[in-house]
Every structure is written in C-alpha cells, then in structure tokens.
C-alpha cells in the first residue's frame, strides 16, 4: 500500500519534471509566446466588447480582434522597420565613404569651445585628436562589424522570424478565443487562497497593460516628436533618429536626450545658433515634457510602484532579457512587491 506522502512527493516530482521539459521545448519560441500573451492581455477588453455583439461567433470575434491588432500595432511597426532599414543603409554608406566624418564634427566643436573648457578637457586628455580619432575609429570598426553581423543574421534568420511571427499570430488568436477558460484553469491550479490568487493575477495583468501601453505611448510620442523636429531642421535620417529616440525613451529620465542633446551641442558650437536653440528648447520643453507628464500617469499610476523601482526594474530587465525586459522587469518587481504584501502585516495607518 502506497503512503500518501510518497504519492504526493512523486506527483510533485513528476509535475516539476514535465513542466521543465515543456518549458525547454517552448524556449526557442519564447519571444513569440511572450508577445502573444502580452498582446492577448492588451486586446482582451476589445475582444470582450466584440463578443458581446456576436456571442455565438467566438471565432469571428477573435479573428476581428486579431485584424485590429494587425492594423494598429504590427503593420505600422513593419512600415517603420522598412523606413528605418533604408535610412540606416544610407547612413552606413555615408560613413564608409567619408561623407559622415565624426572626427571632423568633433574638431569643429572643439574649435568653438572657450579656452577654459579646453583646459578642463586637456586634463582628461579629451582634446588630443590622435587619441579621439583612434577611439572613433575603434568605435566605427565595432559598429561596422555590428551592422554586418546584424545584416547577416537578418538574412539567415528570415525563416526563423517568419515562423516566430506566425506562431505569435496563431497563439494570439487562440488566447483571445479561449483565454478566459485558460485563465480559470490556471487560477484553479494555483495552490493559494482565492483572495491571494485574485490579487496576484490582477497585479500581473495590470502591470503588463500599464507598462506596455505606457512605455509604448511615451516612446512613440517622443520618437515621433523627435523625428519631426529633425525633419524640420533638415537633419538627414529623421526616421532612423526618431526610432533611436523612441528606443532610448524606454529609459526614464535620460532617454531621447542622448540623441537630440549632442546634435544641439553641435549646432551651437558650429555657429548654427538658431537650429541649436530651437532643438534645445524643443527637446527640453516638448520631448522632455512628454516623459515627465505621460510616464507617471500611464506607468506609475496604474502599477502603484515608486518611480525608482520602475526605473531600476526596467534597466535590470533590459540588461537580462533585451528589449522585452522593459515589460518583464516591472512585472517581476510588481509581483515581488505583491507577494511580500501577502505576508507583511498591515501598516499602522491601514489597521487603524
């Protein structure tokens, strides 16, 4: 006769083994699965509205939601990616042909600096053109290798990208159609009290929606505004610079300033004062204002996490998981806080 404790341990071991094995099988498609789940969470409210109008047609409601997702999210990203690739190729060709000479640009900036600034830079050996050009050449060589590697990888991984993209759309359709039943099954399987499960699941979905919508809205607005001002000032490659500003805006506080700031300094140092003043005022008063106003409203308000926790979890998540880390990091931080709140005693002001 089998002992109940032995049966429980065997069942737990079996459950752990098959879960790890299944996770290993799915790991090569982790990006497609992750974004399929994220898009399903984001578009579930829309799917529910459509389902109320066609309650007996769940497949049609899921397909309609999928089409909306394609039009609103995926197709614009494809068009931006095509434009970005074209401008990046042009910029790369100009850098290789010498038309874009960062050493000459730096020399112009140094020549326009006051004497006391040059003396300060001399102390740190930052005005020696030989050293600077050597460093720029090293950076250029590494950048060229990176571009070549990315181009080669893009060509070799086209099939893998198409497969992952197809898996994401396929999974998204079924998550929209069957997501409610699947969520109930997962919730019932979690060995916690119902109130604790509801709190953790609510925190998980809320943080994903707030982080993705908030960061993407902020990144999109800052990238669009930055690309517009670069286009208005006649700077080549506005789409490429706009996308870079959008990507860097995922880092709170500094973000897009890492792109428009050096360009404004170059304008001011080379005598293009009008463009420099316009870009500086626009960057601080418009692009920076978007980050200061929208990010706390869209991210911090819904996640109910301090700004410093959002910042360090975003940076840590991106360092570990790449681009998807800007979602994974805050989600893990929110679940960490919510889990400890289950065990922490209520604060004095809450218990009174």
Instruction: Write the pLDDT tens digit of every residue in 281-318.
Output: 988 888 888 777 777 666 666 666 777 777 788 788 87
Same-domain status, 184 and 45? yes
Residue 77 domain flag:
yes
Same-domain status, 164 and 62? yes
Better-predicted residue by pLDDT, 280 or 162? 280
SS3 (DSSP) at 256: coil
Percentage of the residues of the chain whose pLDDT score is greater than 90: 5
Same-domain status, 253 and 209? yes
Same-domain status, 44 and 87? yes
Residue 233 domain flag:
yes
The per-residue pLDDT for 350 is 46
| Mean pLDDT value across residues 195-200 | 80
Identify the domain boundary among 138, 171, 189: 189
Same-domain status, 99 and 200? no
| Mean pLDDT value across residues 159-178 | 86
Same-domain status, 242 and 141? no
Same-domain status, 34 and 182? yes
Dihedral of CA 49/52/58/60: which sign? negative
The count of other CB atoms within 10 Å of the CB of residue 200 is 19
Q: Scan for tokens 């399987």, then name that residue.
A: 189
Q: How confident is the model at residue 351 (pLDDT cuts 50, 70, 90)?
A: very low
Distance separating alpha carbons of residues 300 and 321, to the nearest angstrom: 22
- CA 311, chain centre distance (Å): 13
Residue 78 domain flag:
yes
Which token pair is 166? 């197809």
Residue 290 domain flag:
yes
Contact 187, 201 (CB under 8 A): yes
Residue 350 domain flag:
no
The contacts of residue 256 (CB under 8 Å, 6+ apart) are: 222, 223, 226, 245, 246, 248, 249, 283, 287, 288, 291
Instruction: Give CA separation, 27 vs 34, 179, 211, 223, in Å.
Output: 10, 21, 23, 32
Residue 282 domain flag:
yes
Residue 25 domain flag:
no
Residue burial 224-249, b: 16+ Cβ < 10 Å; e: rest: ebbbebbeebebebbbbbbbbbbbbb
Same-domain status, 129 and 198? no
Which token pair is 271? 């005598």
Same-domain status, 82 and 120? yes
Identify the domain boundary among 154, 172, 189: 189
Same-domain status, 53 and 198? no
Same-domain status, 165 and 249? no
Dihedral of CA 157/163/167/168: which sign? positive
Kindly report which listed range (35-44, 96-105, 285-294, 327-336) carries the lowest average pLDDT score: 96-105
Would the pLDDT of 71 be above 80? yes
> Domain range holding 245?
192-343
- CA geometry: angle 101, 107, 111, nearest 5 deg: 150
Would the pLDDT of 21 be above 90? yes
- Number of domains comprising the chain: 2
Which of 112-121, 129-138, 159-168, 225-234 is predicted most confidently?
A: 225-234
Residue 20 domain flag:
no
Distance separating alpha carbons of residues 345 and 174, to the nearest angstrom: 40
Same-domain status, 47 and 172? yes
What secondary structure letter does DSSP report for 315?
Answer: H
Identify the domain boundary among 163, 189, 215: 189
Which token pair is 193? 């009290």
Would the pLDDT of 225 be above 80? yes
């Amino acid at each position: 006769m089998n002992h109940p404790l032995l049966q429980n341990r065997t069942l737990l071991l079996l459950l752990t083994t098959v879960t790890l094995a299944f996770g290993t099988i799915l790991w090569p498609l982790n990006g497609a699965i992750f974004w399929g789940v994220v898009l399903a969470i984001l578009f579930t409210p829309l799917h529910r509205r459509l389902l109320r109008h066609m309650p007996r047609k769940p497949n049609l409601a899921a397909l309609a939601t999928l089409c909306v997702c394609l039009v609103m999210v995926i197709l614009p990203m494809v068009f931006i990616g095509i434009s970005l690739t074209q401008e990046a190729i042009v910029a790369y060709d100009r850098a290789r042909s010498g038309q874009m000479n960062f050493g000459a640009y730096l020399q112009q900036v140094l020549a326009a600096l006051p004497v006391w600034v040059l003396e300060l830079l001399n102390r740190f050996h930052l005005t020696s053109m030989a050293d600077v050009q050597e460093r720029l050449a090293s950076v250029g060589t590494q950048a060229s290798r990176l571009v070549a590697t990315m181009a080669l990888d893009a060509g070799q991984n086209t099939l893998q990208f198409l497969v992952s993209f197809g898996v994401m759309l396929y999974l998204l359709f079924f998550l929209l159609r069957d997501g409610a039943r699947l969520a109930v099954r997962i919730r019932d399987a979690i060995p916690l009290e119902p109130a604790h499960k509801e709190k953790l699941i609510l925190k998980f979905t809320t943080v994903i929606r707030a982080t993705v919508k908030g960061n993407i809205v902020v990144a999109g607005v800052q990238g669009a505004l930055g690309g517009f001002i670069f286009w208005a000032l006649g700077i080549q490659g506005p789409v490429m610079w706009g996308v870079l500003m959008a990507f860097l805006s995922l880092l709170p506080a500094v973000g897009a300033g890492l792109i428009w700031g050096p360009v404004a300094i170059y304008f001011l140092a080379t005598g293009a004062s009008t463009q420099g003043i316009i870009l500086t005022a626009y960057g601080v008063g418009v692009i920076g204002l978007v980050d200061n106003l929208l990010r706390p409203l869209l991210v911090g308000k819904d996640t109910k996490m301090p700004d410093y926790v959002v910042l360090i979890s975003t940076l840590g998540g991106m360092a570990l998981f790449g681009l998807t880390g800007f979602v994974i990091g805050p989600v893990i931080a929110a679940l960490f806080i919510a889990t400890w709140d289950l065990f922490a005693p209520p604060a004095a002001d809450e218990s009174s």
